[in-house]
Amino acid sequence: MKAVLTRNVSIRRGAQAFFAHEAAGGIVLMAAAAVALALDNSPLSGLYGMLLSTPVVVQVGALAIDKPLLLWINDGLMAVFFFLVGLEIKREIVEGRLSSLQKAALPVLAAIGGMAVPAMIYVALNSGNPEALNGWAVPTATDIAFALGVLALLGSRVPSALKVFLLALAIIDDLGAIVIIAVFYTSQLSLGVLAVAAVGISVLAYLNYRGVQHLAPYLLTGLVIWVCVLKSGVHATLAGVVVALFIPLNKGAERSASPLKRIEHGLAPWVVFGVMPVFAFANAGVSLLDLSMDDLVGGIPLGIAAGLFLGKQLGVFGIVWAAVRLGIARLPDGVGWLEIYGISVLAGIGFTMSLFIGTLAFSSPEHAAAVRVGVLAGSIASAALGYAILRHASRRTVVKPDSGSFKGTAIPARGGAMASLDPG
């Protein structure tokens, strides 16, 4: 009996250590994608498809939301993901890595280059196909969970300032993706429903102005806004960002005293280990046996893969090099050009956000397969090369675990809610 209890304690401690590790989110995400690929290429592929197409209906009186399970995941669960992204963006702008021009200059410029160049490469490879051009934004995104997971595999050999730079870059990248979705992937608008959503936003603004600290009124109002945005033609995930911006952040307060920090800390594990893996499971499946030549070497998969693998590293590294040479910004302390190049390559891991934008850009199954092939190819290549470069760079320099800073910013114990999760 004692041996059994000892083994159970060891298993529990091992599980806690795993989920507290920075790489855990990326590993779980990768496992979910692998399971989806395995199922879609097995005798169970029919069941996998039936599961995702299962109709789910929620109805209150005359108001009904009738969608297949896949769209509940993409429109509902991903709204929770974007809610957490919105919380992080607000916190970083108010009191974090983006709270001053000096801190934000280099990652902002890097993110702009990392979005612009991949889009241009995609457009160049698909210029003769108007329908394919709708996917120009797919390779512009960076998957922070995967990128940080790869970086975490190198442990303390990576300068802390480099992790901070990657986090700031990814947060700005997420903000860019939000703007792209709002501007370019919005269908015909229902102004009446949007007017109701605007009333809900006014309620959030009033609650924030009055200093209401309880989360329930914000979340209930946010649910109403999500339903309205879902019915309006604007993508429903953007409701999550809007609600997040009104959650009170008591600047400088401890986590327990700030509603934003409290909900961010509590929600992060559910998003990293729940929402994102479920999304990956639902969207990463592709039948390899049914792939056509266009799915492998057509303009869409090549444009996405080249945009992620080549465009990201050219855009991020190129604009950082130019900004430093021109005196606009400087490199993070203790970080050299080889490390910056490695991070630029890692930024090409698109996965979650790229797959999500792909679902908005293309609705047909044949295009969905091409998007998945391009995202997987570009992300895997970026992860492998980025890891190899940073591993080589870490052998050249001995790095103390807590050394380095970014623009004079103190390195926090956790690099944001989605960066690393502790059980406390």
- Residue 389's pLDDT is 92
- Residue 21's pLDDT is 63
Nearest to 119 by CA among 339, 387, 111: 111
CB-side exposure of 106: number of CA atoms within 13 Å? 26
Is 308 within 8 Å of 382 (Cβ atoms)? Answer: yes
- Residue 416's pLDDT is 52
- Residue 3's pLDDT is 59
User: Which residues are paired to 65 by β-bridges?
Assistant: 58
- Residue 348's pLDDT is 93
pTM: 0.76
Domain residue limits, the chain:
21-186+235-396
pLDDT in tens, the chain (424 residues): 655 555 655 666 655 665 566 667 778 888 888 898 888 888 888 898 899 889 988 877 777 788 889 888 888 888 898 898 888 888 888 887 777 777 788 888 999 999 999 999 999 999 988 889 999 999 998 887 788 778 777 776 777 788 888 888 888 888 888 888 888 887 767 778 889 889 999 999 999 988 888 889 999 999 999 988 887 877 777 888 889 989 998 776 666 678 898 898 899 889 888 888 898 888 878 777 767 776 677 889 999 999 999 999 999 999 999 999 998 888 887 788 999 999 999 999 988 889 888 888 887 777 888 898 899 999 999 999 999 998 888 776 544 444 444 343 333 333 455 554 443 3
The fold for domain 21-186+235-396 equals Na+/H+ antiporter like fold (1.20.1530)
Nearest to 236 by CA among 405, 71, 15: 71
